[in-house]
C-alpha cells in the first residue's frame, strides 16, 4: 500500500499513466514513459506533475499537469512560467494542461492562455483546460481512468449513490487503490448526505488529512468558520454599545482576511468596507474566499452600490 503522503497528484497519475496521457492529449497512441519531478525543482509540489511521454507522430515530449482545487487568475502566468522552465531543462516540447477540480465562483472566467503586451512586445502561452465538473463520470469507467475514480462524485452525472458505489467497488478491488477510498468519500460528501457516505464507505482520516485538496478546503473552511462565528451573534446584542463592539470586531476580522487574500487595501476600499453593515460584512466574509485581486473586492462592493 502506498504511503499516506502519496495521495496527491503524482500518486494519482501513476495509477494508470498511459490512460491519463491519452485522455489529456486526446491522442490514442500516446504512452507515458516516466513521471518526472524530484529533479525538477520548479515543479515539485504534490499537484504539479511533469510526465515524459511518447507518440509515433510527435516523438518524446512532456505533459505538464497542473491539478488545482479551484481556478485562480494567477494560473495563466504560472502555466507560462512552468512550461518554459520545463522546456528549457529537458529540451523537449511541452503540452501543458490545467485540471480544475471544483467550479470557481460564478464571476470567475477560466482562461486557457496567458497573454501580455508590454512596450510593443507580445507573449502568449496556450494550455489545455479540463474542468472536472464538465467531464462525464461514465467516461472514467469506459477508459479505465483510475486516477479519476476518487473524483467521480463531482463529475458530470456522477453524484448519485449508484455511481459513487460503482467507483467504490473498483477502488476496493485493487489493493493499490484502496487507500483512495477516503478521498472518494471526501468528494462524495459534496453531493451526498454525510451519513449516507459514512454508511457505504470507510473514512480513514489519517489518509485523508494528507491530501493537499483536503488541506486546502480545510483552510477555506476555517476561514469561513471564523468569520461566521464572529458574525453569528449580530442579532443577539440589543444595546447600541454591544452592537458597535461587534461591528468593529467584524470589520477588523474582515479587513485582516482581505489583506491575506488580496494584499493591502487602498484607503478608499478600506473606507467602503468599514461603511458596511453587519449583514453586508457577513456576506463579504463568505464572498472573499473567492477573491484573488483587489478588483474582486471592488466589483463586489459595486454590486451593493457601496
Residue 124 and residue 8 in one domain: yes
Q: Quick one: 127 and 175 in the same domain?
A: no
pLDDT of residue 202: 63
**Residue 171 shares a structural domain with residue 256:** no
Asked whether residue 128 falls in the same domain as residue 149, the answer is: no
Both 144 and 257 in one domain: the answer is no
Estimate the crossing angle of helix 212-231 against helix 181-188, to 10 degrees. Answer: 30
Is residue 100 located within the same domain as residue 46?
A: yes
Taking the C-alpha atoms of residue 6 and residue 47, their distance in angstroms, rounded to an integer, is 11
Q: How many separate domains does the chain show?
A: 3
Q: Which residues contact 133 (CB under 8 A, 6 or more apart)?
A: 102, 103, 154, 155, 156
Domain that holds residue 180: 137-208
Is the CB of residue 14 less than 8 Å from the CB of residue 8? Answer: no
Judge contact between 63 and 21, C-beta under 8 A: yes
* Same domain flag for 160 and 111: no
Instruction: Please say whether the dihedral angle defined by the alpha carbons of residues 99, 105, 106 and 107, taken in this order, is positive or negative.
Output: negative
Q: Name the phi and psi angles at 304, rounded to 5.
A: -90, -10
pLDDT for 294: 84
What pLDDT is stored for residue 206 in this prediction? 55
Residues 230 and 287 in one domain: yes
Cα separation of 300 and 184, whole Å? 34
107 lies in the same domain as 11: yes
Do 187 and 181 meet the contact criterion of CB atoms below 8 Å apart? no
- Here the cell at position 134 is 464538465
Pairing verdict, β 113-118 and 94-100: unpaired
Give the per-residue pLDDT at 277. Answer: 79
Contact 24, 63 (CB under 8 A): yes
Based on the domain organization, do 247 and 281 belong to the same domain? yes
- Of 133, 166, 188, at which residue does a domain stop? 133
> How do the pLDDT tens digits run along the chain, 306 residues long?
333 334 577 778 888 899 999 999 999 999 999 988 655 544 445 567 899 999 999 999 999 999 888 888 889 999 999 999 999 989 999 999 999 988 887 777 899 999 999 999 999 999 999 999 999 999 999 888 888 888 999 899 998 888 988 988 888 888 777 777 878 887 887 777 766 776 666 655 555 555 666 666 656 554 445 444 544 444 344 334 444 556 777 777 888 888 877 888 887 788 888 888 777 887 888 788 778 888 888 888 888 754
Q: Which pLDDT score, from 0 to 100, does residue 305 have?
A: 59
Amino acid at each position: 500500500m502506498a504511503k499516506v503522503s502519496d495521495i496527491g497528484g503524482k500518486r494519482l497519475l501513476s495509477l494508470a499513466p498511459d490512460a491519463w496521457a491519452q485522455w489529456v492529449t486526446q491522442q490514442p497512441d500516446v504512452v507515458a514513459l516516466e513521471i518526472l519531478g524530484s529533479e525538477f525543482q520548479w515543479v515539485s509540489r504534490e499537484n504539479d506533475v511533469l510526465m515524459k511521454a511518447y507518440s509515433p507522430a510527435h516523438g518524446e515530449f512532456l505533459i505538464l499537469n497542473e491539478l488545482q482545487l479551484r481556478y485562480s487568475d494567477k494560473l495563466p502566468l504560472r502555466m507560462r512560467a512552468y512550461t518554459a522552465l520545463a522546456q528549457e531543462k529537458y529540451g523537449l516540447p511541452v503540452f501543458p494542461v490545467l485540471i480544475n477540480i471544483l467550479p470557481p465562483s460564478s464571476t470567475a472566467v477560466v482562461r486557457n492562455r496567458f497573454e501580455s503586451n508590454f512596450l510593443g512586445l507580445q507573449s502568449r502561452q496556450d494550455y489545455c483546460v479540463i474542468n472536472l465538473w464538465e467531464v462525464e463520470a461514465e467516461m472514467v469507467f469506459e477508459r479505465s481512468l483510475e486516477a479519476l475514480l476518487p473524483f467521480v462524485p463531482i463529475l458530470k452525472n456522477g453524484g448519485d449513490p449508484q455511481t459513487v458505489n460503482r467507483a467504490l467497488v473498483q477502488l476496493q478491488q485493487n489493493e493499490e487503490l484502496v487507500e483512495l477510498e477516503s478521498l472518494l468519500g471526501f468528494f462524495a460528501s459534496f453531493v451526498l448526505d454525510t451519513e449516507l457516505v459514512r454508511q457505504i464507505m470507510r473514512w480513514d482520516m489519517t489518509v485523508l488529512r494528507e491530501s493537499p485538496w483536503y488541506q486546502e478546503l480545510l483552510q477555506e473552511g476555517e476561514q469561513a468558520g471564523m468569520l461566521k462565528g464572529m458574525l453569528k451573534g449580530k442579532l443577539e446584542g440589543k444595546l447600541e454599545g454591544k452592537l458597535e463592539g461587534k461591528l468593529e470586531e467584524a470589520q477588523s476580522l474582515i479587513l485582516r482576511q482581505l489583506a491575506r487574500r488580496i494584499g493591502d487595501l487602498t484607503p478608499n476600499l478600506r473606507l467602503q468596507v468599514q461603511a458596511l453593515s453587519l449583514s453586508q460584512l457577513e456576506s463579504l466574509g463568505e464572498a472573499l474566499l473567492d477573491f484573488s485581486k483587489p478588483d474582486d473586492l471592488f466589483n463586489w462592493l459595486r454590486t451593493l452600490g457601496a
